[in-house]
Structure 1
Amino acid sequence: MPAWLSRSTVLFCCLLLTACGSASAQTRLNELTVAMSSDLSSFDPAMGNAGTDHVFLYPVYDTLIDFEPETTEPIPGLATSWEYTDPHTLELELREGVTFHDGEEFTADAVVKNLERSRSEGSNLQSELASISDVVATDDHTVEIRLSEPDSALPLILSDRSGMMVSPASLEDPDTLATRPVGTGPWEFLDWNRGSAVKLTANDDYWDESVEVSPNLTFRVLTDPKTRVDSLITNQVDFSYQVGAGDAEGLALNEQITVQADPSMRVRMVYLDLSDDLMSDPRVREALNLAIDRDQLANVGFFGHAQPASTFLPATHWASVNEESAYPYDPERARELLSEAGAEDASFSMLLPNDANTVRIAEILRYSFKEVGVTVQMKPRELVQSTTEYFDEHRDPALLSAWTGRPDPAQTYAQLLAASGYYNAGSVAPPGLEEAVEESNTHTDNDARADSLKEAGRLDREFSTFMPLVFEDAIVAYDKNIQGYQPNLLGKPKFTNVIEAG
């Protein structure tokens, strides 16, 4: 890592020493303005399809269970405690005195309605809640989640979209919910100008009095990386999310700006639709993976702020097989496999977001594939349009995008690789993977779960389901007077307790 860019712990300590002064010098920003690289797809947690949606959703929706930012270990959220009373029953004790933004009380009945909707037909969350057979309110603040099979991943699943609690009244009108969210979170919705800005205001009745929030939170959608950089330099925004590695070095030279890079589970990848004739052949998928020099891609395409990826869990994760499963760079073997598959002069189209950084990565990939005889037609789109055309409309067999990670690895396998997973466009799973994940969910200890989850990772690698490329560092930049920013391993900040040093 370049010397100019330190990790979060060092930066945070430096900020505390140089900017804090005393508690009396800390004030709330009247408005925190955040530059985003893309708009969200929907405010409906069960229907959105973009990984970056979480950054917009977290301020409005609390989750039943929260997670530790640095480890993703589960901690209390709207549920103060949880317990498996038997292998087929998860009991949640709910927080009292919580209200939705529309004034409705948060109760067990609200949890039942949310979970029943999220696991129903048509929900993008159905696959990760497949183990639930029934949800019952045993009293106003206790919920029993009854399972058809053991599922130890469920607590962390409830720290993600599936655990985001929506006002029951809003659930009755899903079309309005998609654009006007009503949750219990630290901010309330004000306005969404699609493609331009989302405006939120502080929830003055928020249940957690220990949380500080700015009175107003505005997300500005600035798809051009240079515009995001310029807006930060000229004080039009306070914070820039997903700073490109190529822009970070220049920003770090500005004494008025703090640049912060943190490890994350975000995987830049190429999704493949295995129902496509070309992509259905595992030899073709293996060849495409072997055609990529991931070390060079990490160093050149991401300026050293990435690590090669061959699976979907980084090497430091307790269930990772990334190191043992690494794809070698072997264009000669790639050509042999393509010849065996009768695909020597193959071609395919690839959707991708139209931001400059992604287009640059796509050009590197196109050159790599050309070297082994494969032609790629690139189709740049606005981010939400690219994901909609791929996942919902199935227009093209490939999508260059990212998997942003989930708190529990079983979620990744359920949503990304299982046949019923929303992000598996071709609905073809690696043989044996779903059984391995089911086996992991029968254990509550991570050491016991790891064996089965590692086997799932190996099965995915053998099948060459998709094309994981690199694990990206999460790089953000913000005004030097801002402090309290807390990154998390998912690379999706929540912006609570962000304050300004007076």
Structure 2
Amino acid sequence: MNRTNTRRTSTLGAVALTAALVLTGCFSGGGGGAGPSPEEGDGRIALAMLQPPRSGLTPLSDDAFKLTRWSTVESLVSLDDAGDAQPALATDWTQSDDTTWDLTIREGVLFHDGTTLDAAAVVNALQNALHASPRPRVLDGYELTAEAVDDMTVRIVTGTPDPILPQRLSSPQLVILAASAYGDDGTVDPTGTGTGPFELTEIGGTSTATLERFDDYWGGPAEAAGIDVTYVNDGAARGAALRTGAADIVEAIPVSQLALLDQALLHEVPMPRTNAVYFNNGEGVFADQAMRAAARAALDPESIVENVYEGHADITGGLFGPALPWAEDVRGDIASSVAPADPAGATITLATYSDRAELPEVAVLVEQQLEAAGFEVRQDVREYANFEPDALEGDFDAIIFSRAVLLETGDPVAYLTSDYSCAGTFNFAQLCDPEIDRLIAAASAAEPGEERQKAIAAVEEAILQADALAPLLHERVVQGEGEGVAGALRDPRERRLITEDTTAP
């Protein structure tokens, strides 16, 4: 890393450590502070991100979404604004029967390590995803085989008919890396092994990452010289980074900071992200559905939207909000199927995480509402890295979680499978119901369009009638872009952010 880049990174780190102070940016590329003027800038983009990597930036985890937001890795398929599949590393695809697809691989693509993209590289990447432990969520309960038909054609055969295979292949967790990325021990290293316009050159643990422009990118060189990433999980610090010019682009500015910032630098994006209270359906107080129904009935989402989000969120009508405009039209009866019980002083542990600044505040109101209904509540608030493992193990009676419902495929079925099926690997609700599994399978097999939408609505109805969770609201995320920033994407799916066209002063 050169001297200028070091100054940029250390300045943003200082912002994170001194969020309550009046800060001054002192690196180039920012919109203020004591660094060079835009005319003298180094052409790099300083990015403040919400959460650090959870799995060493392996693309087989949720860290994949960081990699695609930096445009250092690419999938075979991309999605347009409507969620329809578009060419990326695959230029086209044809279906010869219900389970067989042939994909034509783009020619002239170089990996960052200098090797060439071909069918063998694609098959290798897909095989590594299939044999990973744990598997990427997009492959939960899913089987496929991949083979190279010729140098630039890959044949994929799915275990069951999959009408949305192209959308599935758009998942950031199925990006294609060079063979050198995959270790014999199952590790995956994205450093210098992607195909995007920016090459990941340095991973600074859970603090920073550095990317440089890849001049041999198949789509043409990027406008920016590189990207300097700093992870800033403190919301006030992210707001300060934008206010002082310490960062050019800032993820997820919390509501509490909005009034302190130049409104021209803020961009509000309705998200396919649902905040909910997940109940432990497997054991403890909430193994009894009548107790889950009592807790769900006690909650007042409107007061949470008004008092915590100051109106910058949408009241939920179910699992799916405004980002899926068809959801309300096909939604069934999502009321509880049982009468609420009397909590009678039952003691529960309510957990959430502090990385999203609003969630601890939500927890305070949820605690008050549950206690008003007769529960005794103990809170457990942690950083996300310490929260997720215990939540997945079912160590809490209830958790408050912000969940993106379209991340994996641009289609809700992958989310329903991973979060609510017996075999799901992201099942915070500890839910296992054969009837819900049957409905998820039916939705997975349904053709895109009205048929699939109605099948998804049937799954939603069954989950909510069982009181597996209590949806609260749908988030709107506020993205900060400093003065002079151009071409940053405002992606509701949180897949893209900086592209080859993004610039900063």
Normalising TM by the smaller chain, what interval?
0.7 to 0.9
Deviations 1:386-425 (A, max 9, x none): 223323x554343322112321111111222222111114
State the match for 1:63 in structure 2: 75
Equivalent-residue separation in structure 2 for 1:492 and 1:116 (angstroms): 23
Deviations 1:46-100 (A, max 9, x none): 2x257xx5134442210111011x3222111111112222111122111111122
Amino acid at match of 1:65: V
Equivalent-residue separation in structure 2 for 1:129 and 1:345 (angstroms): 35
Change (3 A) 1:373 1:61: same
User: By how many angstroms is 1:477 displaced?
Assistant: 1.2
State the match for 1:423 in structure 2: 426
Is the Cα–Cα contact under 8 Å of residues 274 and 427 in structure 1 kept in the other structure?
Answer: yes
User: By how many angstroms is 1:294 displaced?
Assistant: 1.1
Is the Cα–Cα contact under 8 Å of residues 430 and 459 in structure 1 kept in the other structure?
Answer: no
Amino acid at match of 1:493: R
Change (3 A) 1:417 1:362: same
| 2:240 is aligned with 1:240 | no
State the match for 1:229 in structure 2: 239
State the match for 1:317 in structure 2: 324
Change (3 A) 1:440 1:396: closer
State the match for 1:411 in structure 2: 414
Is the Cα–Cα contact under 8 Å of residues 319 and 453 in structure 1 kept in the other structure?
Answer: no
Equivalent-residue separation in structure 2 for 1:474 and 1:307 (angstroms): 11
Give the SS at the match of 2:388: helix
Question: Structure 1 stretch 26-35 or stretch 108-117: which is displaced more?
Answer: 26-35
| 2:230 is aligned with 1:220 | yes
State the match for 1:163 in structure 2: 174
State the match for 1:473 in structure 2: 476
| 2:109 is aligned with 1:106 | no
Question: Structure 1 stretch 474-483 or stretch 306-315: which is displaced more?
Answer: 306-315
User: By how many angstroms is 1:258 displaced?
Assistant: 1.4
Is the Cα–Cα contact under 8 Å of residues 321 and 454 in structure 1 kept in the other structure?
Answer: no
Deviations 1:138-163 (A, max 9, x none): 11211111122111122212111342
Equivalent-residue separation in structure 1 for 2:376 and 2:454 (angstroms): 39
Deviations 1:15-61 (A, max 9, x none): xxxxxxxxxx9999621111122212121122x257xx513444221
Question: Structure 1 stretch 492-501 or stretch 415-424: which is displaced more?
Answer: 492-501
State the match for 2:347 in structure 1: 346
Question: Structure 1 stretch 35-44 or stretch 421-430: which is displaced more?
Answer: 421-430
Equivalent-residue separation in structure 2 for 1:376 and 1:260 (angstroms): 36
Change (3 A) 1:501 1:203: closer
Equivalent-residue separation in structure 2 for 1:319 and 1:453 (angstroms): 11
Change (3 A) 1:41 1:160: same
Change (3 A) 1:430 1:304: farther
Q: Give the number of aligned pairs.
A: 463
Amino acid at match of 1:243: I
| 2:387 is aligned with 1:386 | yes
User: By how many angstroms is 1:231 displaced?
Assistant: 1.6
1:42-57 matched pairs, under 5 angstroms: 42=55, 43-46=57-60, 48-49=61-62, 54-57=65-68
User: By how many angstroms is 1:286 displaced?
Assistant: 2.3
Compute the TM-score of the two structures, normalised by the length of structure 2: 0.83
1:57-456 matched pairs, under 5 angstroms: 57-58=68-69, 59-68=71-80, 70-120=81-131, 122-125=133-136, 128=139, 130-173=141-184, 177=188, 180=191, 182-209=193-220, 212-253=222-263, 257-315=264-322, 317=324, 320-321=327-328, 324=331, 337-339=340-342, 344-354=345-355, 356-391=357-392, 394-406=394-406, 407-425=410-428, 427-456=430-459
Amino acid at match of 2:79: F
Give the SS at the match of 1:217: strand
Give the SS at the match of 1:483: coil
Equivalent-residue separation in structure 2 for 1:121 and 1:235 (angstroms): 41
Equivalent-residue separation in structure 2 for 1:320 and 1:49 (angstroms): 25
User: By how many angstroms is 1:337 displaced?
Assistant: 1.9
Is the Cα–Cα contact under 8 Å of residues 64 and 159 in structure 1 kept in the other structure?
Answer: yes
Is the Cα–Cα contact under 8 Å of residues 26 and 501 in structure 1 kept in the other structure?
Answer: no
Is the Cα–Cα contact under 8 Å of residues 135 and 145 in structure 1 kept in the other structure?
Answer: yes
| 2:40 is aligned with 1:39 | no
Gaps of 5+ in 1: 1-24
Equivalent-residue separation in structure 2 for 1:501 and 1:220 (angstroms): 16
Equivalent-residue separation in structure 2 for 1:27 and 1:439 (angstroms): 58
Equivalent-residue separation in structure 1 for 2:42 and 2:332 (angstroms): 46
User: By how many angstroms is 1:178 displaced?
Assistant: 5.5
Deviations 1:284-342 (A, max 9, x none): 222222221112211221111111225332145255249956878x9xx99x7232xx7
Equivalent position to 1:30, from 43, 60, 72: 43
Equivalent-residue separation in structure 1 for 2:217 and 2:230 (angstroms): 24
User: By how many angstroms is 1:192 displaced?
Assistant: 2.2
Question: Structure 1 stretch 94-103 or stretch 274-283: which is displaced more?
Answer: 274-283
Equivalent-residue separation in structure 1 for 2:358 and 2:43 (angstroms): 32
Amino acid at match of 2:139: E
Give the SS at the match of 1:473: strand
User: By how many angstroms is 1:104 displaced?
Assistant: 2.3
Q: Percent identity?
A: 19
Is the Cα–Cα contact under 8 Å of residues 366 and 376 in structure 1 kept in the other structure?
Answer: yes
Gaps of 5+ in 2: 1-37
Give the SS at the match of 2:424: coil
Compute the TM-score of the two structures, normalised by the length of structure 1: 0.83
Give the SS at the match of 2:181: helix
Equivalent-residue separation in structure 2 for 1:318 and 1:91 (angstroms): 32
User: By how many angstroms is 1:496 displaced?
Assistant: 0.6
